[in-house]
Chains A and B, each alone.
Chain A
Amino acid sequence: EADIYQTPRYLVIGTGKKITLECSQTMGHDKMYWYQQDPGMELHLIHYSYGVNSTEKGDLSSESTVSRIRTEHFPLTLESARPSHTSQYLCASRAGNYGYTFGSGTRLTVV
C-alpha cells in the first residue's frame, strides 16, 4: 500500500486555469521532491524541499511553485496552465540518504 499519495491521478484542464497538484506522505519524511516526466523520457527535477518552510527549484525551469507548511504535505501549483505543461508529475519523498518512494503520479493534460 502506497505511503505517498498524489491527487488527482488524471486532470484535463483548459489553458489559463490555476491548478494545484496534491502530494501527501505518511512516513514522516523530511525530504520531498517533484519531478516532471514526459512519456518514455527522463525524469526532470522541478522542485524539492528539505523540510517545513524549505523549498528549492530544481534543474528544470518551471512556471510552477510549491509550498511546505506541513511535513506531510507538498503541493505544486501552476498559476496559469499552458499546453506545454502537459506531462506526468511525480512526487517523491525520502528519509535520510535512502532511496525515494514515489507517488502514483498525476497525468496532466492542458487543452
Chain B
Amino acid sequence: QKEVEQNSGPLSVPEGAIASLNCTYSDRGSQSFFWYRQYSGKSPELIMSIYSNGDKEDGRFTAQLNKASQYVSLLIRDSQPSDSATYLCAVNGGADGLTFGKGTHLIIQP
C-alpha cells in the first residue's frame, strides 16, 4: 500500500524565518510530487509541483526532491502569518491518482 508520511506538527516558526516541511513516501515508482496549502475550513490549494530531483523555486517557496531517499520537502522563506495553514504532501504513483499525507500544521508566530 502506498504511503506518504508527514509530521503532523504543529510546527511553530517565527515570522521572517524559514519554515521547513518534510515528507517521505513509500512507492519508489512515484514520478510526480505536489505540495498543497489548506486553510482551516477551505479546500486544498496547489502551491508547488516537482517532477525531477533537485530544487524548484517559486517566489518564497522552494520544493526539494530526492528520489533516492524517497524524500520531498518544502521550504518557505520569510515566513508570514498568512502562511499559517496545513500543508499536504501528495505523491502520484497509482491508477487512483494522488496519495496524500495527513498534513503538517504550520503556525507562524508574529
Contact = CB atoms under 8 A, between A and B. Distances in A.
Interface in A10-64: 31, 33, 39-43, 45, 48, 56, 58-59
A42 B100 contact: yes
| Dominant SS among interface residues on chain A | loop
Interface residues of A, number: 23
Given A102-B43, A104-B43, A31 B97 contact: yes
Contacts of A98: 32, 49
A26 B98 CA distance: 21
A58 B49 contact: no
B56 interface: no
Contacts of A90: 43-44
Interface string B32-70: 101010001111111001000000000000000000000
B94 to A, nearest CB: 10
Contact of B102 (A42, A58, A94): A42
Given A33-B97, A104-B43, A99 B31 contact: no
Given A42-B102, A42-B103, A43-B88, A100 B46 contact: yes
Given A42-B102, A104-B43, A105-B43, A99 B34 contact: yes
Interface of B: 31-32, 34, 36, 40-46, 49, 88, 90, 92, 96-98, 100-103
Given A39-B41, A100-B90, A100-B98, 12 more contacts: A31-B97, A40-B40, A41-B102, A42-B102, A43-B44, A43-B100, A45-B97, A59-B96, A99-B90, A100-B44, A100-B46, A103-B43
Interface of A: 31, 33, 39-43, 45, 48, 56, 58-59, 90, 94, 97-105
